[in-house]
Structure 1
Amino acid sequence: MGSKARKVAIVGVGHVGSSCAYSLINQSICDEIMLIGRTPDRAYAQALDLSHCMDFVHSRTKIYTGSCEQCTDMDIVILCAGASVPGSKNRLDQADSAYAIHKPLIGRIMDSGFTGIFLTASNPVDVVTYIVWRLSGLPRGQVLGTGTSIDSSRLKTLLSEVLPVDPRSVQGYVLGEHGESQFPAWSHVTIGGKPLMDILTQHPQRFGHLKLAEIAHKTRDAGWEIYYRKGATHYGIGNALAYLVRSILNDDHKIIAVSAVLDNEYGQTDVCAGVPAIITRQGIKEILELNLSPPEQEQFASSCAIIRSAIGRIAWEL
């Protein structure tokens, strides 16, 4: 990552990839964005459309189309390519197609001499993050996924509506799979620094109606609520990607829930799952191990087992 200009490549120019590029441009996060798409005409059209934003933003971002072979000096490659499984309500059903899509892509990108950071958004994101790590051969800190960053944001938004407070005053994480086995770590959710569980205990008349299981369910299903009504989720995850890119390029050391390769953190190895991590210019500097309650530790282990099972079903050809 020795380039002076901040360069980001986005592979996949559909809803998520284009929304990510739009967020990057509007927030003036990087100097250059290279769009890589399966259909060159679509990638060109997206780049042209996005270039017309420049008169209305704080600083100019150079945006153009390219190929995997041109990723040599990119700081970050964002992976948004994917294919949904019609009728499925489980992201893990996409594991085989995700491997088929990413195997040639990662080979071509690594053959270009790329040594930067892979940031994955393609579903199932925990499985894809693991696939990219295995195929790239990069250190685990240089491969991360959006993971439960978007789920944690959804949790904060839901809590902010019922308490009510600004969602940025809510701190907490959804852990595990970005999918059906995820769970909020309620023991670590705070409102303005005060544990949520203390607030509920001390103010039963005000917040006795709050059903944590219902909020967890709504958090888990929020993506599907959007998907079945308009066919895609992309604004939230696009902004989450931009937030992560900014945190990396600015060496922010922010703590964000991302999909990370675990190496005995939380007692789990050789699997990717959503956990809070310190994000720096090198990618993941450190994974934070929360002191989970025994039920939460069981939930995390169960979620990792589900992800690991999906990884194990892939017909690997390394």
Structure 2
Amino acid sequence: MQKQTKNQKVVLVGDGSVGSAYAVLMMQQTVMDELVIVDIAKDHSEGDALDLEDTQLWGQPKWVHAGTYADTKDADIVVITAGVPRKPGETRLDLVQKNLKILKTIVGPVVDSGFNGIFLVSANPVDILTAATQKLSGFPANRVLGTGTSLDTVRLRVALGKQLDLAPQTLDVNVIGEHGDTQFAAYSPAKVGDQSLLDVAQAKGLSLDDLKQTEDGSRKKGGQIIGLKGATFYGVATCLTRITKAILNNENVVLPVGAHLDGEYGVHDLYLGTPALINAQGVAQVLPLDLSADEQDQMTASAQAMAKVLNGAMATN
């Protein structure tokens, strides 16, 4: 397929398990016309592009090809999945120094190309790397966002859906804070339709402690998957695809993402997971939840933990 005159262009940086899963999903979407894959393993990215060409017969034709950072010049979105994956027994924060060094080799050349779109970050630790991307690029905070707690929110809604015998899509409950050990479910503002989630759960004989046990299980799910198969990628790739669609479609939809906080929840100049309004601007508006006092304390603790790691990482690098 020849390059079209007018197109929506996504550049994927990092063609590992998450990147390739995202690429397959994006090839099935109608919002993108051109996908460029950039990876240090050039043969692999070229092979993946050729393989991905063969997915488009029953979808919308797209131009997919391997490329370089120069291809980001006219891209709408640069998606960063490149980085060292988490190993069994490691936390996401264990990856800070390794992946920050990799990130620096990406952001500089992208900015130098003249790129003027939106950065979408999914490499771990995602909150730290999203903040670092914004600081290294100098981009407005709304045009840099991460997957944040989107996957954690999905995992919780899936688990609660099973427990309550409800479709996950009907549950308006979010995991917020760090994508990691200090994350937490904001149960007090959670809804099922116009009803309180806590009331719906209570009617089914489930207490807040029961829900917190479910939350704890969903928090450990990533480590469980890594222990069983070595990596997680389908879930986060689906989250990346949903966020990408919301940006390219200018949807004005509320999604859980890693967004820059500047006063929301009493947090300043940090990226943490929260619901936000997503459109062609990136993060059009952060929509903070009305937390209980205990939940606010958890958010403050999560922010303090992330600030300590971010400040140390940026000072070291």
Deviations 1:61-103 (A, max 9, x none): 2100111122100000000001135454310111111210011
Partner of 1:22: 24
RMSD: 1.6
Which amino acid letter does the alignment assign opposite residue 78 of structure 1? Answer: V
Asked if residue 266 in structure 1 is aligned to residue 265 in structure 2, the reply is yes
Asked if residue 32 in structure 1 is aligned to residue 31 in structure 2, the reply is no
Asked if residue 198 in structure 1 is aligned to residue 216 in structure 2, the reply is no
Partner of 2:97: 96
Deviations 1:161-209 (A, max 9, x none): 01101111111110000011100000122223311111233443xx469
Q: How far apart in 1 are the matches of 2:6 and 2:304?
A: 42
- Kept in 2, the 8 Å contact 1:200–1:208? The answer is yes
Asked if residue 220 in structure 1 is aligned to residue 219 in structure 2, the reply is yes
Partner of 2:284: 285
> Normalised by the size of structure 2, how large is the TM-score?
0.95
Q: How far apart in 2 are the matches of 1:210 and 1:289?
A: 24
Asked if residue 240 in structure 1 is aligned to residue 243 in structure 2, the reply is no
Change (3 A) 1:187 1:227: same
Deviations 1:99-136 (A, max 9, x none): 10011210000000001000000000000000100000
Q: How far apart in 2 are the matches of 1:20 and 1:268?
A: 31
Equivalent residue pairs, number: 313
Partner of 1:54: 56
> Normalised by the size of structure 1, how large is the TM-score?
0.95
- Kept in 1, the 8 Å contact 2:87–2:230? The answer is no
What are the residue-to-residue correspondences of 1:178-189 with 2, within 5 Å? 178-189=179-190
Partner of 2:47: 45
SS of the equivalent of 1:28 reads coil
Which amino acid letter does the alignment assign opposite residue 267 of structure 1? Answer: G
SS of the equivalent of 2:188 reads helix
Partner of 2:228: 229
- Kept in 1, the 8 Å contact 2:85–2:231? The answer is no
Which amino acid letter does the alignment assign opposite residue 269 of structure 2? Answer: D
Which amino acid letter does the alignment assign opposite residue 311 of structure 2? Answer: G
- Kept in 2, the 8 Å contact 1:255–1:279? The answer is yes
SS of the equivalent of 1:150 reads helix
Give the unaligned 5+ runs of structure 2.
none
Q: How far apart in 1 are the matches of 2:11 and 2:270?
A: 26
- Kept in 2, the 8 Å contact 1:29–1:242? The answer is no
Partner of 1:305: 304
Give the unaligned 5+ runs of structure 1.
none
Q: How far apart in 2 are the matches of 1:214 and 1:277?
A: 26
Q: How far apart in 2 are the matches of 1:209 and 1:247?
A: 33
Partner of 2:133: 132
Q: How far apart in 2 are the matches of 1:123 and 1:231?
A: 15
Q: How far apart in 1 are the matches of 2:247 and 2:207?
A: 41
SS of the equivalent of 1:71 reads helix
- Kept in 2, the 8 Å contact 1:110–1:136? The answer is yes
- Kept in 1, the 8 Å contact 2:126–2:179? The answer is yes
SS of the equivalent of 2:21 reads helix
Change (3 A) 1:188 1:4: farther
SS of the equivalent of 1:115 reads coil
Change (3 A) 1:223 1:85: closer
Partner of 2:77: 76
- Kept in 1, the 8 Å contact 2:11–2:71? The answer is no
Which amino acid letter does the alignment assign opposite residue 291 of structure 2? Answer: L
Deviation of the 1:315 alpha carbon: 4.5
SS of the equivalent of 2:30 reads coil
What are the residue-to-residue correspondences of 1:117-128 with 2, within 5 Å? 117-128=118-129
